[in-house]
Every structure is written in C-alpha cells, then in structure tokens.
Structure 1
Amino acid sequence: MNFDREQLRALSAVLDEGTFEAAAARLHVTPSAVSQRIRGLEQQVGRVLVVRARPCRPTEPGAVLARLASQLAVLEHDATALLGDGGPEASSPTRLAVAVNADSLSSWFPAALVGLPDGVVVDLRREDQDRTAELLRDGTVTAAVTADAHAVQGCRVRPLGAMRYLAVAAPRVRERWFADGVDAAALDRAPAIAFNRQDALQHRFAQRLAGRAVHPPVHHVPSNSAFVATLVAGLGWGMVPEAAAAGPLAAGTLVELAPEPWLDVPLYWQHWALRTATLDDLTERVVRAAAAALR
C-alpha cells in the first residue's frame, strides 16, 4: 500500500499538536485541508485513525501510521542533509519525540542535548521509567529512557547504568515513626511520599526491608523540587535520587532511613531499530551523558 506523504504529515501534525487547528498552523495550510488529508488517509486504509477529542489521539491503526510518518520524516531529513539539497525539507526541523523519566530529566539527561544539531528539535515526554516503553510500543515516541531491558518490537536497547535512590526523611519523621527501627509495622504506619500513582519505588524499597508488601498512607507530589521540599517539611519518607539528596543530607535537613538506604534502578535506552544519522547521534549523546552520571 502506497501512502501519500502529505497525508502522513497531516496525521503526524494532528497527533503532535493535539488539534486540527494547531496542525494547520504548523503545516501552513487551513484546518479544512488538514481534515481532508486525514479523511483521505482514513478512506484509503478503511479505518478511523484519529480520535477527534482534545487533544486528538491515535487509534491503534493510527499509531501504526504515525510511527511510519515519523520514521519517514527522519529518513528524509538525513537524506536531504547528505545531498545538500536546499529544498523545503532542508528548512523543516525534524522532531524526535523522546520519553524520559522525571528524575533523569531533572538531572543527567539535559547534558545529552547540549550542542544538538541545527534542524533537529526534541519533544520530551515526561513519564515514569516503568511506563516509557509503552510509548514506544504505540509509536508515540522515537526513543525512551526506560527500566525495561527487553527490547520493544522494532527497537534496539542499550544499557545506560543505574540510578541510585536513597530512602530519606526529615530527622523528626525518623524519630517519630522509626524510633524502634525500620520494620514492617513501622512502614505500614509511616506516611510515604511518591511522585505519582505510578511511582512504585517506595513500595519496592519497603518490601525489601519488611520482607512483605506494605500499605502506608501515601502523599503524591509530582514535582522534583517540591518532592524534596515536602520531605524536608516532614510529611513523610521517600526515595530521592542520590545527587538530589546530597545537599539536604549534608545540611542535616534529611537523614537516611536505614543502614543500607539505597535502591538501584537500572536504566536503558530504547530506540527504533531504524538506523539514521540523526537517531544514531542522539543515541551516542545519551549514552555519554548517562556514563558520566549513572552507576
């Protein structure tokens, strides 16, 4: 089946931008033209490709074609660069959608983007490291920092190292809830702080210490800086990246919860198996940045 490139570009723009109007502005056409291209593509494949909501999202076949559109865009960009063509593709930036967990995004990952080549823009999607692989599977992103060591179909995987997390709390929290030690009963009672409902680090660490699952009350604080501030304020205990915990531990505003308070989370870089200069360059940048920061 042969696909019209303008129709694929329209599909990609709608899903990237979230609305037909925003996609039209990006493509420098009218919303009606975008709608016609999407309808033409849907008629060709005999499937609905876009859920018309706010934001627009792909159906399962829409995700397949969106992935194809993104791969073709990267290939066109690299071919144009090699040929030295000054046509319209040369002036259109190539977008690389990348899923990164919040702790990597707030620490080591930005170093990978220093000196990114002209003509390449990144669309970073913040997602938990245990869920970023899902975005690769549905074609939402080109690459991801993930905790999944098993390559998603059609992708390659490279180990990056491990991010160390420390179990910490304000001194008064440790004194109040863990005066008699860090055992299962104390971990069931003491409030914990998690980044969001997908953040399972606290429960994983607690289960390792207790030897069983624990069920503490949990605060959810989806901000890296606010997460540490909430710990310092004494709302509970939580797992903090080693680098982020260093300052508060040195200042005494946080203390380690247990004699061996760490949990190492291996991270991996998964990306399309498609080999292009642009994607290879980003991969090498990410691997170097991770090697300088992770264990």
Structure 2
Amino acid sequence: MNLEHLKALVAVIDEGTFEAAADLLRITPSAVSQRIKALEASVGQVLVRRRLPCTATDAGALLLRMARQVQVLEAETSAALGSGSAARAHLPVAVNADSLATWFVPVLQQAAGWEDSALDLHVEDQGYSSQLLREGEVMGAVTSDPVPVSGCRVELLGSMRYVPVATPALHRRLSASGGVDWAAMPVLKFNTKDNLQQQLLTGKPLRQPPPTHTVPSSQGFLAAVKAGLGWGMIPELQLTDELESGALVRLEDGAHQDVALYWQAWTLDSDRLNRMTAAVRAAAKERLLPGDAPEANGPSRAGYRRQK
C-alpha cells in the first residue's frame, strides 16, 4: 500500500470531494483519482463512495484508520529525525458537549502548549463516537461505552453527576403540598437522544406528558433553565453559584443521575496520543467523581447526552 495513495484516501474523505483533496495535496484531481483507483486495485475492493460528500465504504474505513495511524507515526518519526519538527500533526478527538464545557477544559489548556500538535475536536454522541473510532475519524473519544472498539483500549475516567433544577419561581408556581406537578412543569431536553429527564420522570404520577422544549447547546441549556423556560438535569460541574445564590433550586433533595464516562483510544504507540491520554486522565481525576459511582435514579449509561 503506497503511502501517497493512503494520503489521498484521507484527503478525499476529510475534504469530501476529489477536487478539494487535490487542492489540499497540491496535485490535480486526476492524480487524486488515479491514486484512489490504484489503492482500490491493490486491495481488490471499492474504498470510496463517489458522492457528495465522498464517504468511505466498510473496507475504506479500515484503510482510513490505518492511514491516519501511519500519518501520526510518520510525523513523529520525522520529528525524531529532525526533519519534521515544524509540522503539526492533527489529533482528532470526540467528546460530548457537557464534558467539553466543564471538566475537559484543562485538556485544552495543556494542548495550547503542544507546538507539534493541532487538536481537532468532534462533538458527538456516545453511539457515533464509537463509530468515529471504528472508521478512523478520531484517535480517541470520551464515551459512556465500556466495551472497547476493535483496535482500541478503554479506561474508566469517572462519573459525571447531573441534578434536576429549576428557577424558584417556576418551582413555586407548579408545586403544591403534594410536591412538584411533573405533568404541568415544562421540561427541557438537549436533543432526541437526551433521556436524562425522562429517567427522572419514570415512575412519577403523570396525567399527561409535560410540555417539552429542546435546547441543543450545553451553555444554552443552562441559560434556558435559568430563564425559567423549564427544568432540566444540569451537570453539577456546570453549576457555579446558582444553587448557593438561590438562582436555581433542586426539585428533589438528593435526586441525581451519575453518568460513567470512559476514554477509548487507539492501541497505537504514539507520543502525541499518549500525551493526550495522560491529559484526559489527569483532568478527569481532578473533576469527575471517582469510579463508576452508584446513582439514585436508574442506569447511568443510558443517560449519556449533550452531544451536538
């Protein structure tokens, strides 16, 4: 497998078209096409679906991951030999939005000092994060899936705690001596994959489904709760002084959801990837709850959310 052919495969999938890949590689679209055809001939399978944008077939995904690994090792070897010290290798990583807004920030601070690397973050949900690893789109991912993707290693980072909160005014307006009127109180969700609120509502005496608003932004979700649009499950790490100041109140004392988070990364002996893993591990140890903490309201892994 020719290294230049593999580079062409990466460029076509990343850029989406043969023309854009040609611009990136500084060759003609015809040359890109010839390299892809030569690579497909060498393995005897179609690797690229010729559409807009171009996508990898199952066979292409396998080669794509290998091609990215080769590029990482090539960049590190060139740097070690003193011939590639100025090149910045891309570090594609998948992370969910709530983590990115809270405990993952120290990782970004460390990455700011990595002069040989450029961080490429993909904000995706748990299921697709695993798919990105399989397809070679990312080298590592923060995920709720404890089962390692083939060719990857996995380690438990800790648990992220979510608590149900609302404004005092909304709480007073839709509460009585019997407690919260869950059927009448508006609820927020992040997207269609967000079921943390639904887990809390399971078992509640609901006459009808509550009014539901969708706010697909981690910061926007908190802002919407503080604005009184509805109640929602907010990461404790995202709450600074809202509970202490009385801007928000817990809807149930002690109620929470603990979401176990894992780090999955390629089993590749790469200095850059090992450094990224160490930074993620250190940040998680500093901010997340230790271990797979037990939760109060149902299985945590089903509640992983806040992705897009």
Contact 1:131 1:146 in 2 (8 A): no
Instruction: Pick closer, same or farther for the CA change 1:33–1:110 going to 2, 3 Å.
Output: farther
SS of the aligned residue for 2:239 comes to helix
CA RMSD of aligned residues (A): 2.3
* Matched ranges for 1:94-173 at <5 A: 94-116=89-111, 117-129=114-126, 131-173=128-170
SS of the aligned residue for 1:99 comes to strand
Which amino acid in the other structure matches residue 262 of structure 1?
A: H
Give the Å deviation of 1:21.
Answer: 3.1
* Matched ranges for 1:1-295 at <5 A: 3-84=1-82, 86=83, 89-116=84-111, 117-129=114-126, 131-179=128-176, 180-182=178-180, 186-207=181-202, 210=204, 215-295=209-289
Contact 2:166 2:251 in 1 (8 A): yes
Deviates more, 1:74-83 or 1:161-170: 74-83
Instruction: Pick closer, same or farther for the CA change 1:233–1:159 going to 2, 3 Å.
Output: same
Deviates more, 1:38-47 or 1:139-148: 38-47
Instruction: Pick closer, same or farther for the CA change 1:52–1:234 going to 2, 3 Å.
Output: farther
Which amino acid in the other structure matches residue 199 of structure 1?
A: D
In 1, the alpha carbon distance for the partners of 2:127 and 2:244 equals 30
Give the Å deviation of 1:188.
Answer: 4.5
5+ residue gaps, structure 2: 290-308
Give the Å deviation of 1:91.
Answer: 4.2
Which amino acid in the other structure matches residue 221 of structure 1?
A: V
Give the Å deviation of 1:215.
Answer: 4.8
In 2, the alpha carbon distance for the partners of 1:287 and 1:142 equals 15
Instruction: Pick closer, same or farther for the CA change 1:205–1:57 going to 2, 3 Å.
Output: farther
Give the Å deviation of 1:247.
Answer: 3.0
Give the Å deviation of 1:128.
Answer: 2.2
Contact 2:162 2:235 in 1 (8 A): yes
In 2, the alpha carbon distance for the partners of 1:33 and 1:52 equals 16
Which amino acid in the other structure matches residue 237 of structure 1?
A: W
Which amino acid in the other structure matches residue 111 of structure 1?
A: P
Which amino acid in the other structure matches residue 156 of structure 2?
A: P
Instruction: Pick closer, same or farther for the CA change 1:155–1:173 going to 2, 3 Å.
Output: same
In 2, the alpha carbon distance for the partners of 1:36 and 1:121 equals 30
- TM-score of the superposition, structure 2-length normalised? 0.84
Instruction: Pick closer, same or farther for the CA change 1:202–1:70 going to 2, 3 Å.
Output: same
Instruction: Pick closer, same or farther for the CA change 1:188–1:4 going to 2, 3 Å.
Output: farther
Contact 2:167 2:226 in 1 (8 A): yes
Instruction: Pick closer, same or farther for the CA change 1:172–1:290 going to 2, 3 Å.
Output: same
In 1, the alpha carbon distance for the partners of 2:41 and 2:184 equals 58
5+ residue gaps, structure 1: none
- TM-score of the superposition, structure 1-length normalised? 0.87
SS of the aligned residue for 2:241 comes to helix
Give the Å deviation of 1:65.
Answer: 0.9
Contact 2:91 2:118 in 1 (8 A): yes
SS of the aligned residue for 1:114 comes to helix
How many residue pairs end up in the alignment?
285
Instruction: Pick closer, same or farther for the CA change 1:268–1:56 going to 2, 3 Å.
Output: same
From the two aligned structures, give the one with the greater helix fraction.
1
- Residue by residue over 1:126-150, the C-alpha shift from the partner in whole angstroms, topping out at 9 and shown as x without a partner, is 0124542232123221110011112
Contact 1:128 1:199 in 2 (8 A): no
Contact 1:24 1:31 in 2 (8 A): yes
Contact 1:166 1:245 in 2 (8 A): no
In 2, the alpha carbon distance for the partners of 1:106 and 1:50 equals 35
SS of the aligned residue for 1:210 comes to coil
Which amino acid in the other structure matches residue 2 of structure 2?
A: D
Which amino acid in the other structure matches residue 233 of structure 1?
A: A
